[in-house]
Amino acid sequence: MRTRAERNRGFESVKRNLFDAGVAVVNAAEAQEQLFDASVKALAEAVGIETEDSTKVLAGAIGVEAEDSREIESCTTSPSINSIVGKLMTQRQEAEAAGDFDSYIDAEQKLETLYELEVVRLEREARKLEAQIRIQNAQKQLTLLSQAPTPSSLKPEPEPAPASKTPEAWTESKLKEKFKTLEGVRKEFSVKAKSWKEAVDLANQRER
């Protein structure tokens, strides 16, 4: 059983380490999100679509159709990534039909960039989830640690009851020393011993 001081040091160490780990992951996720916002905005501008708020662009990220429709409606003043993809695919088709190789390559490269940005988004979400899990684990561990019993809170275990002592066996010398005569032995143990040997046997039987 650890002392209270050792337990307190362990508590503070776990709290500090897990908190720092959680904060670090959250910060990394936020930094990744900022990078993603900036990249999408830059790409939208590159294809000639004006954006005022990169967070609205994120609301239309690939896969956004599975989210709340109100989030999609909020993108009406800014293009979603899906709209950018649609514009680039149209540009690529037109370039292919016209035999414009440079325009085709330009559109293809921008599409690849968009797919890379989607990977970045997924990595960002994974980092956020990792941060949440770390923080939840920290809370659970700290709760368990705070509930661990301390030496002062433990009740002392009851001492075992002393074992009953087995009476020592009578011997002829002990009987003679205590009762002096056979008559004294007979009265004490209510036996009809005719000799000291018999008195010893009968006395020991009575004691069992």
Which residues have C-beta within 8 Å of that of residue 6, sequence separation ≥ 6?
A: none
> How far from chain centre, in Å, is Cα 40?
36
What are the tokens at 16?
A: 């500090």
Question: Is 80 exceeded by the pLDDT of residue 104?
Answer: yes
Percent of the chain with pLDDT over 70: 62
Q: Which amino acid is at 45?
A: E
Digit-coded pLDDT (tens) for 74-90: 433 344 667 777 888 89
Question: Is 80 exceeded by the pLDDT of residue 129?
Answer: no
Given pLDDT bands bounded at 50, 70 and 90, which one contains residue 105? very high
Per 3-state DSSP, what percentage of the chain is helix, strand, and coil (rounded to 5)?
75, 0, 25
Q: What is the DSSP letter of 190?
A: T
- pTM of model > 0.75: no
The rounded distance, in Å, linking the Cα atoms of 43 and 123 is 19
Q: What is the DSSP letter of 66?
A: G
Question: Is 70 exceeded by the pLDDT of residue 119?
Answer: yes
The rounded distance, in Å, linking the Cα atoms of 10 and 16 is 10
The rounded distance, in Å, linking the Cα atoms of 154 and 148 is 10
CB atoms within 10 A of CB 17: 12
Residue 143: CA atoms inside 13 Å, Cβ hemisphere, count? 6
Question: Can you give the pLDDT at residue 150?
Answer: 56
Better-scored residue on pLDDT, 28 or 197: 197
Question: Can you give the pLDDT at residue 99?
Answer: 92
Domain map (residue ranges) of the chain: 11-149, 172-207
